[in-house]
Chain A
Amino acid sequence: MCATCGCGQADVRVESLASDGPADRDHHPRHGHLHEHAHPHEHAHAHEHADPHEHADPHEHAHLHEHEHGSARVRTSARAAGPVPGVVEIETALLAKNDSLAARNRTRLVAQGITALNLMSSPGSGKTSLLCRTISELAPTRPVAVIEGDQETRIDAEKIRATGAPVVQINTGSGCHLDADMVARGLAELNPQAGALVFVENVGNLVCPALFDLGETARVVVVSVTEGEDKPLKYPQMFAAADLVLINKIDLLPYVDVDLDRLVAHCREVKPGVSVLPVSVTTGAGMDRWRDWLTDPQPA
């Protein structure tokens, strides 16, 4: 598998969008049209070391190899022991692999003083608009970078790019969530500077992303008032995973049949004591409290 963009793995694509013009977009010439390749095998491994520009950080590379060799060793020794006939106890968590990759992401991010926030919501809650406004408000004082997750297109990444922030688009194809491996690849491509604030905008979905630890510093669930006040009760796994709930589009409260207090109460029914911030990305209401929270995001 290509360690830069992971083109060998199913139909997931990782692509960085240069902030200084469309000419740089084909940074990875042999991957210029990833989505047109029907057979991932055609990519082989040949170009993994082809272009030193693609691997700005040599440590990244070292770790990837270490991992590949490491897991190969485990497999070999397991095979050498050989399975015994009859029942074999496995007792292994199904998310163990994702969780260990997430732990590795977390260790690296902490070492570089990077704060990573996993933004989750249903489609259309205003995550991308929130990010665009947040970036423009923070940009002079704090380096911000973004990993955009969507099933298809780089529409969201283009919007972020217009703000001037470095951005990587991950297209999950048929996948409904980001996992720790995709984020590791996204971070390798994004290569955020030490001390940066990295937003990971997950695939719009209130179900699946809740299960996958990405190695983030904290999880922010965005819900808009137009979605109704019952969302936390209908999707409790997601809201129970939140370190902060951002209630967006409060400028529309006069036009919808939603009681803000009840929506907040429903959030806390699922996640007792969770911090809730009502905001309007359109008018800017509440954005000051969101910026305050961003100065030191903590897991709940």
Chain B
Amino acid sequence: MIRVHELAITQSVVEVVTERTGNSKVSSVRLRVGRLSGVVPDSMRFCFDLVTAGTPLEGASLDIEQPEGRGRCRACGDDVVLVDPILLCRCGSADVEVLTGHELAVASVEMA
């Protein structure tokens, strides 16, 4: 499903990268999109070609790391794997501190 916030967010990939690298041609882009971030990587891939057309990122490959959601239960101290934004520990507590999974960042780029 294509949702428009992925379009806006993929557009910001171009802005973040070109602010750093200017007009130099970029051959690949590595993103970090956590599984709890609310952003769908496939939608970003779909949008990427559209928004990079005519920019220094045109034709670049897109590599998306997807860190899983991990947290720690404040009630029992257990580590919890979070498959969705519903924070629930096996012990029944919903008081879970999210450690990873919310990432939404450009990690690095490779220059052509």
Spell out A's residues near B (CB within 8 Å): 74-75, 78-79, 82-98, 174-177, 179, 207-208, 210-212, 233, 236-237, 240, 268-270, 272
Is the pair B13, A94 in contact by a Cβ cutoff of 8 Å? Answer: yes
Is the pair A88, B88 in contact by a Cβ cutoff of 8 Å? Answer: no
Is the pair A75, B19 in contact by a Cβ cutoff of 8 Å? Answer: yes
Number of A-B contacts (CB under 8 A): 103
Excluding A78-B21, A91-B106, A95-B12, 7 further A-B contacts by CB distance (< 8 Å) are A78-B19, A78-B20, A90-B16, A92-B105, A174-B4, A175-B4, A177-B8
Q: Does B55 interact with chain A (Cβ within 8 Å)?
A: no
Spell out B's residues near A (CB within 8 Å): 3-5, 8-9, 12-13, 15-17, 19-22, 24, 31, 38-39, 84-88, 94-95, 104-111
Q: Which of A87, A177, A270 contacts B108 (CB 8 A)?
A: A87
Q: Give every chain A residue within 8 A of B5 (Cβ-Cβ).
A: 176-177, 207-208, 211-212
Q: Give every chain A residue within 8 A of B94 (Cβ-Cβ).
A: 268-269, 272
Residue from B8, B17, B21, B22 with most neighbouring chain A CB atoms (10 Å): B8
Is the pair B106, A94 in contact by a Cβ cutoff of 8 Å? Answer: yes
On whether A240 and B85 interact (CB within 8 A), knowing A95-B104, A207-B3, A207-B5, the answer reads yes
Is the pair B16, A96 in contact by a Cβ cutoff of 8 Å? Answer: yes
Q: Give every chain A residue within 8 A of B31 (Cβ-Cβ).
A: 94
Is the pair B20, A88 in contact by a Cβ cutoff of 8 Å? Answer: yes
On whether A270 and B86 interact (CB within 8 A), knowing A94-B16, A208-B5, the answer reads yes
A-B contact pairs, 28 of them (CB 8 A): A79-B22, A83-B21, A83-B111, A85-B111, A86-B111, A87-B111, A88-B20, A88-B108, A89-B107, A90-B16, A90-B109, A92-B16, A93-B105, A94-B12, A94-B16, A94-B104, A94-B105, A95-B9, A97-B15, A98-B12, A174-B4, A177-B4, A179-B8, A207-B3, A236-B86, A237-B85, A270-B86, A272-B94
Q: Give every chain A residue within 8 A of B88 (Cβ-Cβ).
A: 269
**Complex: A85 Cα to B87 Cα, angstroms:** 43
On whether A84 and B4 interact (CB within 8 A), knowing A90-B16, A236-B85, the answer reads no
Q: Give every chain B residue within 8 A of A268 (Cβ-Cβ).
A: 94
